[in-house]
């Protein structure tokens, strides 16, 4: 009899050791709790089991796993989770009393219960409940066996919790890296890419799945460097040095295949490399934060263009005004009234040109600052605005024949009269400038069910296909001999588009040869709502 009891205990310990190893290896909390329950019930020959864990936020017990209990009956076991008497004997009696009520209410044949705390470092993280049915009894020494088992289970649950938290934090950090607005790249000590986020894929055109695993220099191929040296040069000079951990490299690199932003062949990048070192100072990873500087460089070029264009455009009328004024002030000359009148007309026209240029620059600054506003009125009559523009600009050239035709039923609209005049003025001025040999300029207004359109058609040089995508951009001018001889800031169409769109309209153009073969010139059209 004694030998049989010893053998049983040996088997129980071996089983307990095997289960402890299994618990230590399991890090998925759901699977771990299921394994704990099943093992605990089998260890003491029970019928069912339940684990309740302490919620970290509410500090209340919540059922986390059940074994041998139908899911729809779990809520009946709530009384077992509430406060119990402090004395151990009182707890057993109260537990049995509550179990009898639960068994009766849920129609379950459970007759006995063992409850054991799961403790880690003196804190209770949960409770294990093992139930026995009707006339069955727990194996001898069941509580002691389960107590040892519960300690192992508590450690395993704590480890699974920690793993779960670490995994969630990793997922959160991965999401931050992946969806960061800045490009992020992580390199191993051999400079192979281990992380390549979505923003960086958009910048460079490299899909992350193709970039990861490649050497840094395969993906970031510098065409030009503004900082003089790259990552390899720095490493060759002993980087990272103590106290100088960050390295900044800036330059232009090629875009990969067709994956880059449409129309780009190269991209300007600024990359800050930060080393991650272990406690011994050995390099573990290099974390690279990448900024797309392409738009910044484009703005730099625009600023240079702005200074160049504006200085030239300002000098021209100022020089003419000064020249005519200086001539008229000569003491040794007696000018006829006709010469005086003609000179004053030129001065007045150049002053108007100067004023128009300043107005355009102010409008651009308002657009960029977000303070661009319309002064709306409900009786704007576009045919009258067009006629005034024709009268003003018709004197500029004897080579052009400007015609005006609007639908007889053309209505008044709601709009900003001054700015819509500016749109018409810009379109007609361009038509004159870019048809240097003269010809017809036709201004037409058409009425549609919900909107009106106004078009300006010339017989000029047209717009080359390669220039069409940038025609409404700031400072955009056709890159040809004519435009280089023609005055202008390149702001007219940019402002016209902004004004029309502020009226909830749209503006577009087409070369006339797209409608009629070999027809010269271009037609600009804008539409405005009449509702």
Question: Which secondary-structure segment (H or E) carries 428?
Answer: helix 417-433
* Average predicted confidence (pLDDT) for the chain: 82
**Residue 414's CATH number:** 3.30.565.10
pLDDT at 245: 76
Q: Is the pLDDT of residue 7 over 50?
A: no
Q: Is the pLDDT of residue 4 over 50?
A: no
Looking at the domain assignment, is residue 10 inside a domain? yes
pLDDT at 244: 60
pLDDT at 298: 66
d(Cα 317, Cα 410) in Å, to the nearest integer? Answer: 38
Q: Is the pLDDT of residue 371 over 80?
A: no
Contact 275, 286 (CB under 8 A): yes
Residues 218 and 266 in one domain: yes
Could you tell me the pTM of the whole model? 0.48
Residue for token pair 């004897």:
398
pLDDT at 6: 43
- Using pLDDT thresholds of 50, 70 and 90, give the confidence band for residue 82: confident
Which of the listed residues 292, 313, 345 is the one where a domain comes to its end? Answer: 292
pLDDT at 177: 77
**Residue 355's CATH number:** 1.10.287.130
Residue predicted with more confidence, 421 or 256: 421
SS3 at position 257: coil
Residue predicted with more confidence, 376 or 306: 376
d(Cα 125, Cα 117) in Å, to the nearest integer? Answer: 8
Q: Are strands 400-406 and 439-447 parallel, antiparallel or unpaired?
A: parallel
Q: What is the percentage of the chain residues whose pLDDT exceeds 90?
A: 22
Residues 363 and 382 in one domain: no
Question: Which secondary-structure segment (H or E) carries 380?
Answer: strand 377-380
- Using pLDDT thresholds of 50, 70 and 90, give the confidence band for residue 261: low
Looking at the domain assignment, is residue 288 inside a domain? yes
Q: Pull the structure tokens for residue 475.
A: 């400072």
Q: Is the pLDDT of residue 263 over 60?
A: no
Least confident segment among 346-360, 408-422, 454-468: 346-360
Q: Pull the structure tokens for residue 164.
A: 């779960």
Compute the Cα dihedral for 355, 357, 359, 361 and give only its sign: negative
Counting the structural domains of the chain, the total is 4
pLDDT at 295: 76
d(Cα 434, Cα 469) in Å, to the nearest integer? Answer: 18
d(Cα 342, Cα 361) in Å, to the nearest integer? Answer: 29
Question: Which secondary-structure segment (H or E) carries 531?
Answer: none
Peptide bond between residue 177 and the one before it cis (omega within 30 degrees of 0): no
How does pLDDT run across 175-187, given as a tens digit for each residue?
877 788 789 999 9
Q: Which domain holds residue 391?
A: 377-529
In the predicted model, what is the mean pLDDT of residues 401-407? 93
**Residue 28's CATH number:** 3.30.450.40
Residues 434 and 497 in one domain: yes
Phi and psi angles of residue 251, each rounded to the nearest 5 degrees, phi first: 175, -170
Peptide bond between residue 240 and the one before it cis (omega within 30 degrees of 0): yes
pLDDT at 87: 56
Least confident segment among 141-145, 149-153, 260-264, 348-352: 260-264
């Amino acid at each position: 009899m004694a030998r049989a009891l010893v053998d049983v205990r040996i088997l129980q310990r071996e089983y307990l050791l095997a289960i402890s190893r299994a618990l230590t290896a399991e890090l998925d909390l759901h699977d771990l709790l299921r394994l704990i329950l099943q093992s605990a019930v089998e260890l003491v020959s029970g019928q069912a089991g339940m684990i309740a864990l302490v919620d970290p936020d509410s500090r209340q017990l919540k059922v986390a796993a059940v074994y041998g209990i139908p899911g729809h009956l779990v809520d009946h076991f709530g009384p077992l989770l509430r406060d119990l008497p402090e004395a151990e004997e009182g707890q057993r009696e109260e537990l049995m009393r509550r179990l009898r009520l639960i068994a009766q209410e849920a129609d379950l044949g459970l007759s006995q219960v063992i409850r054991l705390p799961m403790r880690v470092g003196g804190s209770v993280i949960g409770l294990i409940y093992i139930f026995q049915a009707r006339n069955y009894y727990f194996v001898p020494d069941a509580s002691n066996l389960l107590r040892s088992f519960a300690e192992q289970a508590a450690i395993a649950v704590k480890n699974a919790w920690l793993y779960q938290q670490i995994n969630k934090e990793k997922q959160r950090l991965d999401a931050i890296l992946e969806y960061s607005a800045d490009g992020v790249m992580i390199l191993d000590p051999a400079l192979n890419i281990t992380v390549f986020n979505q923003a960086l894929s958009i910048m460079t055109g490299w899909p992350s799945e193709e970039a990861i695993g490649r050497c840094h220099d395969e993906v970031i191929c510098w065409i030009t460097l503004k900082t003089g040296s790259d990552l390899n040069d720095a490493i060759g000079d002993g980087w990272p040095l103590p106290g100088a951990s960050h390295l900044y490299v800036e330059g232009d690199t090629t875009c990969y295949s067709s994956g880059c932003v449409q129309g780009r062949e190269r991209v300007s990048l600024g990359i800050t490399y930060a080393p991650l070192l272990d406690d011994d100072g050995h390099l573990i990873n290099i974390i690279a934060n990448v900024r797309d500087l392409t738009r910044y460089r484009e703005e730099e070029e625009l600023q240079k263009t702005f200074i160049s264009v504006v200085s030239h455009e300002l000098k021209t009328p100022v020089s003419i005004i000064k020249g005519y004024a200086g001539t008229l002030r000569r003491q040794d000359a007696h000018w006829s009234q006709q010469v005086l009148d003609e000179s004053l007309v030129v001065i007045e026209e150049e002053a108007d040109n100067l004023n128009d240029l300043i107005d355009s620059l102010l409008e651009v600054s308002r657009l960029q600052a977000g303070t661009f506003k319309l002064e709306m009125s409900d009786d704007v009559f576009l045919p009258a605005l067009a006629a005034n523009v024709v009268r003003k600009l018709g004197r500029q050239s004897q080579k052009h024949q400007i015609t005006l035709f609007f639908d007889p039923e053309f209505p008044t609209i709601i709009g900003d009269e001054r700015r819509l005049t500016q749109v018409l003025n810009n379109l007609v001025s361009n038509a004159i400038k870019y048809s240097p040999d003269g010809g017809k300029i036709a201004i037409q207004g058409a009425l549609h069910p919900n909107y009106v359109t106004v078009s300006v058609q010339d017989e000029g040089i047209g717009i080359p296909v390669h220039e069409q995508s940038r025609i409404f951009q700031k400072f955009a001018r056709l890159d040809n001999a004519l435009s280089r001889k023609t005055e202008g800031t390149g702001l007219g169409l940019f402002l016209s588009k902004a004004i029309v769109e502020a009226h909830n309209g749209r503006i577009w153009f087409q070369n006339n040869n797209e409608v009629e073969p070999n027809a010269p010139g271009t037609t600009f059209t804008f539409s405005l709502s009449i509702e």
